[in-house]
Amino acid sequence: MRKVKKYLAAIVAVMMIFTMFAPAFAAGTVYEDNARALNELNLYRGTSTTEFVPALEAQLTREQGLALIVRMFALEGAATTTYATPEDAYKALANFTDASRIESTLVQSVAYAVKVGMTVGLTATTMGPKSNLTGQQYCAFVLRQLGQATTDEYSMTADKFATLAKLDAEEKADLTANKAINRDFAVGISFKSLALEYKDTKQTVLAKLVADKVVTQAQVDKAGYSTPAPSVTSVVYTSATAMTEVKVTAEDTMVATFNGAVTTNATFAVTGAMTVTPVVTWNEAKTTATLKSAGVFLDGTYTVTVTADGIAAGKNTGTIVVAKNGVAKIEILGDKLVRTEDNLA
């Protein structure tokens, strides 16, 4: 009997050792592999700052969900830069009567989520930080950050997420049921969100993280992310710093070219012989804008000015001459304007 007890004690000791060094996934959780992959990418930490404790079975509150998404989009640095201390963040949230209930370790992320439009609060005056988060709300936070939310109606946003993320029938049913979710389900949604695209740039979340050097391709490979490498690296844009060329391609059309992608909202002004409010369309890479006038351009000199983040004064203006015998194309090279073609067909 003593030998049996010794063997049992040894087995228990071994099991305890394994428990100490292995993440504790609860029975019934589904997205353990996704949690490990996100942790490998440093996009999900769980509930401990010293070791990986995924706690997937735990219910998720609104404040925790917002903090989780801020981390997934690599916005924690921006949050602490914008709000240097928790006190700064509390002040920014003063319009919410329950802001003081937000955990001090999460308040900077919550305040930043409000600043960028990820959330507008549970109501106009309450944040509901301790309220259970629903799947519909979580999807709304994600799609708003991507610029993909076309409505504030949570159920419609959830339907759109299910379509974009190609959820299976069971996942979609769980998502659209408007039930409180646990960390496990949030991890599953987060993992699928990596393949979704920003509306303006058509760049996936993971591609942007790689391009911004938040994660490396080696980390992506080690995490076992299922998307092939080309889809991670093929859409990597360098932000534009200057408009490099303006030309007329038709009697009612001008084209502006940039030295990189214009990834923020840009506005154009066309002034001179006539003032035009153009209809603007972009190529897929966001490097060329086509400006369409409602009518034919009159003869004369025109100045095309773009207003966009990252493009400084002196780098955002081009001049072009429209004449009866043709159009002169003007290239913008540094601070000099150089005529390169006349009498274009």
Confidence (pLDDT) at 22 = 35
Summarised one tens digit per residue, pLDDT across range 114-168 is: 999 999 999 999 999 999 999 999 999 999 999 988 666 666 778 888 888 888 8
Confidence (pLDDT) at 95 = 95
Confidence (pLDDT) at 226 = 52
Q: Which of 167, 109, 105 is nearest to 136 (CA)?
A: 167
Confidence (pLDDT) at 169 = 86
Answering whether pTM is above 0.85, one says no
Confidence (pLDDT) at 119 = 93
Confidence (pLDDT) at 83 = 97
Confidence (pLDDT) at 238 = 54
User: Are residues 263 and 235 in contact, defined by beta-carbon separation less than 8 angstroms?
Assistant: no
- Which domains does the chain show, CATH number per domain? 2-233 (no CATH), 243-341 (2.60.40.1220)
Confidence (pLDDT) at 312 = 83
Structure tokens at 208: 């942007």
Query: In which residue ranges of the chain is pLDDT below 50?
Result: 1-27, 227-237, 325-345
Confidence (pLDDT) at 249 = 84
